[in-house]
Chain A
Amino acid sequence: MTFLSLAPVFPELLLAIGALVLLLVGAFGGDRSASGITDFSVAMLAGVAVIAGASSFAVSDTLTAFGGGYLADSLAGVFKILVLLSASVALLMARGWMQQAGSFRPEYPVLVMLSVLGMMVMLSAGNLLVLYIGLELQSLVLYVLAAFRRDNSRSSEAALKYFVLGGLASGFLLYGISLVYGATGSIAFSDVPVSGHVPLTGMAFILAALLFKISAVPFHMWAPDVYEGAPTPVTAFFSVAPKLAAFGLLLRLLYGPFAGLMAEWQDILMVVSAATMLVGSLAAIGQTNIKRLMAYSSVGHVGFALMGMASGTETGLTAVILYLVFYIVMSLGAFSVILLMQRDGEALENISDLSGVARVHPGLAAAMAMLMFSMAGIPPLVGFFTKLSIFMAVLNSGLVWLAIVGAVASVIGAFYYLRIIKVMYFDEPEGGFDLPLDPSLAMTAVATSVLTLAGVGLLGNLVSVAHYALHVLPLAP
């Protein structure tokens, strides 16, 4: 094996070496080095995003390494950029909050980097074992991250729940892989154009594990508890990067090796997406904790994205990518506002704590309101256009009933987004948040809310990026 043959893995290697070096620096430097290490890892993540992006767009052919076990193609490239960028923003948002909570330690950025490494391996997986390795690397780090405030019982509880359920999902995944291997005699994606009963069962198990990762109904139960218990910056990270990675992997699996079973998984996805949208919007109504609310909100959004996935056309998948990109923007924005909810050094988590924020911090409230209207899918904000493109793809595939379920779910969903706006604008103020607001958070809030308006102008470009990402998959237009 020559050095050059490792070229497709170069971004991952860089990230792995960087993470290990920073871990050493942290081990010797102690908590004092946390700030520097955070800066460095944000720069590292962004830098790797640039490298991965540049190499992916420069070479549109698929590069492989490790005998086809590792693929560096446009699909992986585009999703890697999104994962890396969202992770770096989420990391940037963590500092102020973590310092306030007294858990700002050098391990945090290193762990984030390692989990991102796992996601990159997932996205580039070319056979079922690499897939498993990537997924496990990611998951194990995520369990640790959920427990990052080890002195906090809720954080530990969340991590334990996540770990037990996640372990079960990994079991499903391995079982599914073994069934597929047993039926086809190969683990390489390229050798597994499967059909038949045994591979179908295997695919169902693999699908269940991945649906667990994206918290689709009926595998969503962990999400509210983990979102609520985990430290808020970790929750922000959970809501973006792992979802992207799992969606990228789903795309590759369903339209690659499992394309032969399309009729079967389409049925599964239709039912799952309808249930996910409905549960996400109905269960969110009764929540009082804003992190739990965001958990259900993300469940609802996942349902929408799955609906596009079920359409089975290039239009549908393009819509999924658009939807995910702006879901991430809006989610990061909403969490930046939630992270800013601190009064007298105390982090606040109840929706009612936002009471009358519009009077005290009008800019912050306006940013949050735009993000919420956008999440609810009200024009002229970008959330509407991404929902529109999903609906369009779904109707184009003739799935009228699914589109109607989606429409109803989005109206129910609008209710709880409106409730946040109501609390901010209609209720009497209870007091402001700590000033000065963390500049990186305030900037994220402003930038994301501006994107909900300006993003409409970027949709055209994103469509071509999505087409580029999808050109490696065999798709109907």
Chain B
Amino acid sequence: MTDGWPLLSLLVLVPLFGALLILLQRGDEERVGEASRGSAFLLTLITFILSLAAFFRFDPTLKAGHFQLVENIPLFPAIGLSYHLGVDGISMALILLTTLLMPIAILASSHVEKRVREYMVSFLLLESVMIGTFCALDTFLFYVFFEAGLIPMFLIIGIWGGPRRVYASFKFFLYTLLGSVLMLLALIVLYLKAGTTDMEVLLSGGKLIMGIDMQKWLWLAFLASFAVKLPMWPVHTWLPDAHVEAPTAGSIILAGILLKMGGYGFMRFSLPLLPDASAYFVPMMWGLAVIAIVYTSLVALVQEDMKKLIAYSSVAHMGFVTLGLFAFNMYGLQAAMFQMISHGVVSGALFLCVGVLYDRMHTRSIAAYGGVTNVMPKFAVLFMVMTLASVGLPGTSGFVGEFLGLVSTFMASRNPPFPECAATFGWSQTVAFIATTGVVLGAAYMLWLYRRVMYGEVGNAEVAGLKDVTLHELVALVVLAAVVIWLGIYANTVIEFLAPSLERLYGQMTMQPICRIAPMRLP
């Protein structure tokens, strides 16, 4: 399988070496800055093209949904660490999302004038480790990539962020770190139990033989990390702070990709490796997801800061991902993946829109705007597309994800994974009903945001003087809008692409339990 170019290594290494090259430039700060801006954009484009090459080499029709483009080099045998990369449909889709959003994030950074070189280096390093996270097939290597992303993001928020950047960067770092070290302990235990860090082996060898109690502890340790990353209520509080303070491009990457690592983690570790525990914790996860959807939607409704509003909406949208993942049916998994991709594009675009306004007005307060449509017509159209996608209007990508998520939850009671869970899953229609109110609330806060910012009389002289989008911004937004609409109309392309991998995952999730679990009740 390793014939031809090691595409995945290239994907990881091109941004890394690009970052080193940029770091080596010497000379006048301004010129170095401009040069690194250009070269960073070029490098992310090259990475995008490489990811397309990987995409075309990848064979989605392979029925078993096995890993492809595998590379495996032992690194540190004493602890079983090896450099082991490979992709299935799930990771391929997320890698494409990453490489698509990166050039757009760089385009969105034209306002950055302070320490441009270090900024670009941080973003390239971040891209490298994000791609690494999505294609690592060694549990420790996964952790290394998963965690290494904290360093560049910490610097991005802390150096180029807003007034409370120090607070936000520390909160981001420490929250995520606490979750991750617990996951590290779980990964070590997994290694000690299974004797391997090879995820191909772990995922293909059926279930690990371990008691339900052990499964539950490991599952909770994984949850600590993925729940913070996703983020789920009540450990979501770092997200609004990080988003508000991060520079525009930082927010795009944070919402667009870093949050997806949480969902990806559930799909790689919790669900397939610990299915009994996953089924056991379904009531809790549904509960948390519903709270996330309804509560954070209500919170979003009263925000006065545009970025904060979108940040809270992210938590709500990620609630649908959680619902889908724990519905234990194919629709649910499709919903989770689709919602992750869609949210990556839509929220990235929304943060970009806020960035466009912020660059011109230097305020994110909703009250400072009004009537922007009159002066920025092109922007108004694109912002509208993204708002509607976030609301979940049919025809946009947001609809497919939310709709599938709700359908999967409605249907969960029909087909519980294990007979013992039937009682729990009987609640699924109630859960889905409550979650649906989140869709209504979503429409409320997004459309209200749009009305207050864009419609009405021109609010003040500053708004009257606004210039419409520049070429850079236009290109970035149009590309994203095209993706959003394409995904909304031809959703099947993505779903078919993912089908074999998701079916494999579904099979692992619903394998008959080795240890019988006690009947479960809602807590």
Contact = CB atoms under 8 A, between A and B. Distances in A.
A391 B151 contact: no
A395 B189 CA distance: 7
Nearest to B78: A463
Contact of A426 (B144, B158, B174, B181): B158
B166 A426 contact: yes
A396 B192 contact: yes
B173 interface: yes
A148 interface: no
Interface in A425-477: 425-426, 456, 459-460, 463
A380 interface: yes
Contacts of B382: none
B155 A425 contact: yes
A314 to B, nearest CB: 11
Contacts of B185: 391, 395, 400, 403-404, 407
B182 interface: yes
Contact of A389 (B79, B143, B151, B189): B79
B76 A411 contact: no
A426 B188 contact: no
Contacts of B155: 425
A388 B140 contact: yes
Contact of B154 (A385, A408, A418): A418
A45 B50 CA distance: 53
Contact of A392 (B79, B148, B158, B165): B79
B520 interface: no
B150 interface: yes
Contacts of A373: 151
Contact of B181 (A395, A411, A459): A411
Contacts of B184: 388, 391, 407
Nearest to A389: B79
B166 A422 contact: yes
B427 interface: no
Interface in B150-166: 150-151, 154-155, 158-159, 165-166
Contacts of B189: 395
Contacts, number: 82
Contacts of A404: 182, 185
A182 interface: no
Contacts of A389: 78-79
A460 B78 contact: yes
Nearest to A407: B181
Contacts of A392: 79, 188, 191-192
Contact of A388 (B79, B173, B177): B79
A29 interface: no
Given A392-B191, A410-B181, A418 B173 contact: yes
A379 interface: yes
A384 B180 CA distance: 12
Interface string A268-298: 0000000000000000000000000000000
A160 interface: no
Contacts of B166: 422, 426
Contacts of A385: 76, 79
Interface residues of B, number: 33
A411 B178 contact: yes
A415 interface: yes
Contacts of A144: none
B4 interface: no
Contacts of A408: 178, 181
Given A456-B76, A459-B76, A414 B174 contact: yes
A140 interface: no
A366 to B, nearest CB: 9
Contacts of B191: 392
Nearest to A464: B78
A403 B79 CA distance: 17
B58 interface: no
B165 A459 contact: no
B147 interface: yes
Contacts of A395: 185, 188-189, 192
Contacts of A379: 143-145, 147-148
B170 A418 contact: yes
A378 interface: yes
B205 interface: no
A359 to B, nearest CB: 8
Nearest to A385: B76
B523 interface: no
Interface residues of A, number: 31
B27 interface: no
B144 A380 contact: yes
A378 B78 CA distance: 20
A255 B174 CA distance: 37
Interface in B122-141: 140
Interface in A142-188: none
Contacts of A391: 184-185, 188
A298 B77 CA distance: 29
A459 B188 contact: no
Interface string B215-246: 00000000000000000000000000000000
A86 B326 CA distance: 54
A411 B182 CA distance: 10
Contacts of A463: 78
Contacts of A422: 158, 166, 169-170
Nearest to B191: A392
A384 B181 CA distance: 11
A299 to B, nearest CB: 19
Contacts of A410: 181
A425 to B, nearest CB: 6
Contact of A384 (B75, B147, B158): B147
Interface in A377-399: 378-380, 384-385, 388-389, 391-392, 395-396
Given A391-B184, A407-B184, A426-B165, A414 B173 contact: yes
A425 B165 CA distance: 12
Contacts of A407: 181-182, 184-185
B147 to A, nearest CB: 5
Contacts of A415: 170, 174
Contacts of A400: 185
B23 to A, nearest CB: 9
Contacts of A380: 144, 148
Contacts of A459: 76, 78
Nearest to B74: A460
A460 B76 contact: yes
B120 to A, nearest CB: 15
Interface in B61-99: 75-79
A266 B25 CA distance: 54
A391, A411, A421 pick with most chain B CB within 10 angstroms:
A411
B192 A426 contact: no
A403 B186 CA distance: 11
Contacts of B182: 404, 407
Contacts of B145: 379
Contacts of A414: 173-174, 177
A426 B159 CA distance: 5
B211 to A, nearest CB: 15
Given A395-B189, A422-B166, 20 more contacts: A373-B151, A378-B150, A378-B177, A379-B145, A384-B147, A388-B140, A388-B184, A392-B79, A395-B192, A400-B185, A403-B188, A407-B181, A415-B170, A415-B174, A418-B154, A418-B170, A422-B170, A426-B165, A426-B166, A456-B75
28 contacts: A318-B78, A373-B151, A378-B147, A378-B151, A378-B177, A384-B147, A388-B184, A388-B188, A389-B79, A391-B185, A392-B79, A395-B192, A403-B188, A404-B182, A407-B181, A407-B182, A407-B184, A408-B178, A411-B178, A414-B173, A414-B177, A418-B154, A418-B173, A422-B170, A426-B165, A456-B75, A456-B76, A460-B76
Instruction: Identify the 10 closest CB pairs spanning chains A and B, nearest first.
Output: A379-B144, A407-B181, A411-B178, A426-B158, A463-B78, A379-B147, A395-B188, A392-B188, A379-B148, A411-B177
